[in-house]
Structure 1
Amino acid sequence: MSNQVDTPLKRELGLIDALSVGLGAIIGAGIFVLIGIAAGLAGPAVVLSVVIAGISASFTALSFCELGSALPKSGGVYEYGHTLIHPLVGFLMGWMWVAGNIVLGATASQGFAFYLSFFIHGLDFHIVAALLVVFVTLINILGAKLSAWVNNVFVAIKVLVLILLVAVGLLAVQAENFTPFMPRGFMPVLEAASLFYFAYIGFPRIATMAEEVRDPEKNIPRAILLALGISALLYALVSFTAVGVAGWQRLASSSAPLAEVAEMLGLGWVIGVGGLVATFSVVLTSVMGQSRVFFAMARNNEIPQKLSEVSERFGTPVYSILLSGGIMLVLVLFMDISGLAMLTSFLVLLSHVLTNYASLRLYRDKKFNPAFKAPLRPLHAFIGMALSLALALSVEVTAIKIGVILIVVGIVWFYIYKTYVKSKI
């Protein structure tokens, strides 16, 4: 091992790799489940809900594009808050983002075990999930380029699976399934859009890899916007096809709505494969993103500096990757994480509120001249901040309480550890 200062991260990832990281994080198991819940709220207008959710997410995405272009450093939200707001705020942004994504990755690993049980019966979900976490941690250690290559393959498979479902399904769409279009009015359409917003919020993982992306000032904004646009198009086509084939009532009453559609089309195996590759790539990019935030924090002496060391052989922050994988491993083996989805949403959305605020600070700070400038800036940041705050406060009260406790723990850690580090200097 060598210190990070001596062995910098390698810029090995091109635009396609960065785009794939975004798609790997965004297109997860959510689309396979959320479509049914959202259809139950909006009816056939769930297609409109998907589009509204994508537009809503784009305001925060534009903030990430500007910030990623101006501050192309590992750590993403952590670096934005640290540089543009205050070191404590930056630390808390990274703290919240990592906590939320660790739970998300652990949940996805259990989802992988669930989909694998379609093909192999009698599996122990916890053991399968744990083995997956160990495997993706090893891949991440062996190099960002290898991780990106594996992710590229899995992203291509899951995109092709959804395209196949749409291509076959469009031939079986029945127009009567779209009438009445809004059986419960417009407000439930907005409720469904709020729900579906969570299916889009994987794009910030691209920003965490900034120091490993070639020409990051241009490629990070491009990758974020392309990932969001491709995901939105796929989601809209899948939701249209699902409603057209099965009808919204049938989707709403099913715990596996896309599996239902696939069975009707004679493509039952498709959803099993799609679910496997979707959850795998979410876990892979989850470890990838978390470790880079830990790496950035350690570089600033806010967590043990050992975590900022980069392997001379592999060019990756091995100790940060092991910490990310290790925490996820403990979660999947020893904790019930089924009820923590809302906590993930609260923490990630709150970090997005602050990210949009950082974008406003970027706009006002004349020292920065980002290569990417959002249209109508800084209006997008105001809208993104308001939407993220509204959604963060809409989660259940228990999740908010646990989230606040985690934030307090983060504040205590920050001041105690910084005091400890100063005493050692």
Structure 2
Amino acid sequence: MHDTDGTHTRRFGLATATALVMGNIIGGGIFLLPASVAPFGTVSLVAFGVLTLGAIALALVFGRLARRDPRTGGPYVYARSAFGDFAGFLSAWSYWTMTWVSNAALAVAGVGYFHVLAGDRHSMGEDLTVALVALWLPALANFAGTRWVGAVQLVSTVLKFVPLLFVAVVGLFFFDPHKLGAFNEGGGSAIGGLSAAAAILLYSYVGVESAAMSAGEVRDPERNVGRASVLGVIGAAVVYLLGTVAVFGTVSHDRLVTSTAPFSEAVDVMFGGRWGGTVIAVAAVVSIVGALNGWTLMSAQAPYAAAKDGLFPVSFARRRRGVPTFGVLVGTVLASLLTVVNYVSGSGGVFKILVLITTFSATVPYLLAAAAQLYFLLTGRREQVRTGGFARDVVLAVAGFGFSFWLVAGAGYAAIYQGVLFLFAGVLVYVWMAARRQAVAPPSTTKSAPTVDAASSDAR
């Protein structure tokens, strides 16, 4: 096995890669999602459908790009290949910051569901301990290698998919159309209601890139990355859409809009009693642990690929059993520090700002990847993407770019403002790494072409 050049044995089959995509898309947010979109009415179901089409288009774009270059790093690899080092760095930097900050947010969210199982009596120290355990258990699975990551991801995806799908399917037998709200509950134009619901739902599909990001670990990536991306999106969409329909039709609308546990209330309506909360809390904990397992790996993949190209510190390129262990360690430590700050400070101010940053940071790699596909197609480099239908691929790339652009618009002004500031802060890291590369370059290189070195670097 060779873990340094990308030629090692690939450990993720199609099923595991699909589970990685689906598990990363479906985190803990699904358990509150029906209540979040209920104020907009059933137009939110239409928004789900539109967004699913956009996410599938983006998944197909990632599949096309993985045929061209099936290396670990996905969006980073494509952006750098098309637009040079700086664009590649921005993609890797954005993705990296998004992953470890969102991991901290997932861990904190998991504490709330843990309270349902363990009781409401708790202290700050206990909450912090639970959150840190939630971060480090998936990290340990990652340290053990991609086989363990894949096994945990497959099992956790099944364990959370089955109960959610069960509620969704059984809920159809208890469906009461009189409990539905109006089509456009918020009033005004239907397009306005659609856009408002979509703004909340947009980030439900972040994670579609997971198979492309770990393409170096996927068997037959030229075929399986695209398949896993599409299947993962469709699987997540089935859970999202059927689950939301089931909850809409079992919990009365006026009660749903104020609910803090819509799936639990739906289970209570279907079967009676008050045990629904416990069942859903277990599913939520499993879902969050599975998402943390996958996102912990993602937090190391982008800096790993960038480090191999000299755009991140070389330590991030160290890998053991298929996993960039240094990247996993750094990402988990940063997420842990952020979690500690959240609890010790007694104020979520800093934490909320960083979470806002993630909503923008997630979109930068998507936009650059879709733009890279368009660049390859429109500059006559169709052989770079190895596809047959030029018009079809252009339409898919434009749709993927449009979906990504919609993600940016849905993030809101505050997220974009904070995210751009944090993105530009990464320029200092790029300058530092570029200066280091220049300093260690052979003397003949700097003497022979002093005025074009930066340009040639960006052209690589």
Equivalent position of 1:17 in the other structure? 16
What is the distance in 2 between the residues matched to 1:208 and 1:369? Answer: 17
> Do the aligned partners of 1:302 and 1:414 also contact (CA within 8 Å) in 2?
yes
Deviations 1:219-265 (A, max 9, x none): 00000000111111221111110110013332211122222222323
Decide which of 257, 271, 276 is 2:280's aligned counterpart. Answer: 271
1:283 corresponds to: 292
Letter in 1 for 2:338: L
User: Secondary structure at the residue paired with 2:70?
Assistant: coil
**Could you tell me how far 1:195 is from its partner in structure 2?**
1.7
Q: Residues of 2 paired with 1:49 and 1:374: CA distance?
A: 29
Q: Distance in 1 between matches of 2:198 and 2:232?
A: 19
Indicate if the aligned counterparts of 2:357 and 2:422 stay in contact, CA closer than 8 A.
no
| Aligned-partner SS, 1:333 | helix
Contact 2:63 2:223 in 1 (8 A): no
Q: Which amino acid aligns with 2:216?
A: E
Residue number in structure 1 paired with 2:332: 325
Equivalent residues of 1:99, 1:347 under 8 A apart: yes
Correspondence for 2:423: 407
1:293 aligns with 2:302: yes
CA distance in 1, matches of 2:233, 2:391: 17
Cα distance between partner residues in 1 of 2:182 and 2:3: 63
Amino acid at match of 1:284: N
- In structure 1, what is the Cα distance between the partners aligned to 2:212 and 2:287? 20
Question: 1:172-194 CA deviation, whole Å, 9 max, x = no partner?
Answer: 11122236433435121232123
Match of 2:316 in 1: 307
Q: 2:253 corresponds to which letter in structure 1?
A: W
Q: Quote how far apart the aligned CAs of 1:70 are.
A: 1.6
Q: Distance in 2 between matches of 1:274 and 1:339?
A: 29
The reply to whether residue 421 of structure 1 matches residue 437 of structure 2 is yes
Question: Quick one: structure 1 residues 61 and 367, their matched pair in 2 at CA, closer, same or farther if it must change by over 3 Å?
Answer: same
- One-letter amino acid of the counterpart of residue 28, structure 1: G
Q: Could you tell me which amino acid in structure 2 is paired with residue 347 of structure 1?
A: S
Q: How far does residue 390 in structure 1 lie from its aligned partner after superposition?
A: 3.6
CA RMSD of aligned residues (A): 2.2
Match of 2:112 among 108, 114, 127: 114
For the pair 1:252 / 2:251, whether they are aligned, the reply is: no
Contact kept in structure 1, 2:104 and 2:338, CA below 8 Å: yes
Letter aligned with residue 15 of structure 2: I
**1:46 shift after superposition:** 2.6
When residues 420 and 233 of structure 1 are mapped into structure 2, their CA distance, relative to the original with a 3 A threshold, is: same
Q: C-alpha distance in 2, partners of 1:390/1:53?
A: 10
One-letter amino acid of the counterpart of residue 156, structure 1 = V
Shift of 1:339: 4.7
Given that residues 112 and 279 in structure 1 are in contact (C-alpha distance below 8 angstroms), is that contact kept between their aligned partners in structure 2? yes
Aligned to 1:243: 248
TM-score by length of 1: 0.93
Paired positions, count: 421
Correspondence for 1:57 among 51, 55, 58: 55
Give distance in 2, aligned partners of 1:196 and 1:76. Answer: 24
The CA distance in 2 between the partners of 1:180 and 1:360, in whole Å, is: 40
Residue 90, structure 1, aligned to residue 104, structure 2:
no
Identity percentage of aligned residues: 23
The 10-residue stretch of structure 1 (286-295 or 366-375) with the greater mean CA deviation from structure 2: 366-375
1:421 CA displacement:
2.9
Shift of 1:354: 1.5
User: Is 1:45 equivalent to 2:33 in the alignment?
Assistant: no
Deviation per CA, 1:16-46, whole angstroms, max 9, x where unpaired?
01000001101111211222121112x1333
1:351 aligns with 365
Greater mean deviation of Cα atoms: 337-346 or 50-59: 337-346
Whether the 8 Å CA contact 1:46–1:239 is kept in 2: the answer is no
Report the residue type matching 2:177 in the other structure: A
Distance in 2 of aligned mates of 1:305 and 1:326: 18
Residue in structure 2 matched with residue 221 of structure 1 by the alignment: 226
Counterpart CA distance in 2 for 1:394 and 1:238 is 23
1:37-88 deviation line (CA, Å, top 9, x unaligned): 21112x1333222212212222222221211222111111111101112210
CA contact (8 A) 1:140 1:146 kept: yes
In the TM superposition, structure 1's runs of 4+ consecutive aligned residues that sit over 4 Å from their partners are 371-375
Q: Higher Cα Rg: structure 1 or 2?
A: 2
Which of residues 383, 392, 397 is equivalent to 1:376?
392
1:294 Cα deviation (Å)?
1.4
2:139 alignment partner, one of 124, 132, 137: 137
Alpha carbons of 1:217 and 1:157: their partners in 2 closer, same or farther (altered >3 Å)? Answer: same
Distance apart, 1:389 and its partner CA: 2.0
Name structure 1 gaps, 5 residues minimum: none
